[in-house]
């Protein structure tokens, strides 16, 4: 990111400057929400098309990044609803025992991500926002358009489902 762009606020940047600085982070975020590079790129493109039309209003928002992240989530949800697609089953997950070997850690991280990808879209979005974006529950609730207690519930239930799935896979491979 250009130092001059990084020091300026969104209100001082043109849409093109803001996009140039933020698109890599938006694509990473969208990938974690959608579970697919293609779907992530589509969601970001859809959100940015809409954001361009509303940039004068968005740049005055308290947090333009959060506003556009919410647009990315909405774009993915709209796509999902429009085409009636359900998440497909996740391939078999194998959880390896913890070890000092970095390859083992990578495999374990991959197993967690695969189980996360198998969650419903709202729970997956809540997990991504909480643990990958490191947001507080109030911010997660604002982005997902729900109450803070509901955001906490999404995260809690997603973690419980992930834990159950990982334990079941571990038992199957033991």
What confidence tens digit (pLDDT) does each residue in 67-103 have? 899 899 888 887 766 665 554 444 444 554 555 567 7
Please give the mean pLDDT across all residues of the chain: 80
Q: What is the DSSP letter of 12?
A: G
Please indicate, yes or no, if residue 90 is contained in any of the structural domains.
Answer: no
Give the domain extent around 132. 102-172
Domain boundary among 53, 83, 113: 83
In a shared domain, residues 73 and 135: no
Q: What is residue 44's predicted lDDT score, i.e. its pLDDT?
A: 92
Question: CATH no. for residue 139?
Answer: 1.10.10.10
Distance CA 38, CA 87 (A): 15
Regions of the chain where pLDDT drops below 70: 1-12, 80-101, 104, 174
Domain boundary among 25, 54, 83: 83
φ and ψ at residue 118, rounded to 5 degrees:
-85, -5
Q: What is the tally of structural domains in the chain? A: 2
141-165 burial: b if 16+ Cβ within 10 Å, else e: bbbbebeeebbbebbeebbebbeeb
Q: What is residue 6's predicted lDDT score, i.e. its pLDDT?
A: 45
In a shared domain, residues 164 and 106: yes
Q: What is residue 151's predicted lDDT score, i.e. its pLDDT?
A: 92
Domain boundary among 83, 115, 139: 83
At 50 the three-state DSSP class reads helix
């Amino acid at each position: 990111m250009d130092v001059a762009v990084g020091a300026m606020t969104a209100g001082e940047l043109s849409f093109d400057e803001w996009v140039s600085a933020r698109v890599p982070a938006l694509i990473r975020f969208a990938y974690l929400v959608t579970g697919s590079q293609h779907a992530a790129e589509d969601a970001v493109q859809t959100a940015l098309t809409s954001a361009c039309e509303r940039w004068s209003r968005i740049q005055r928002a308290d947090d333009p990044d959060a506003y556009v992240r919410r647009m990315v989530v909405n774009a993915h949800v709209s796509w999902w609803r429009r085409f009636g697609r359900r998440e497909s089953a996740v391939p078999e997950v194998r959880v390896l025992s913890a070890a000092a070997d970095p390859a083992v850690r990578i495999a374990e991280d991959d197993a967690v991500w695969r189980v996360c990808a198998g969650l419903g879209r709202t729970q997956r979005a809540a997990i991504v926002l909480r643990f990958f974006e490191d947001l507080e529950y109030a911010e997660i609730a604002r982005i997902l358009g729900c109450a803070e207690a509901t955001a906490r519930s999404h995260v809690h239930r997603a973690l419980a489902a992930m834990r159950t799935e990982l334990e079941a896979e571990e038992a199957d491979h033991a």
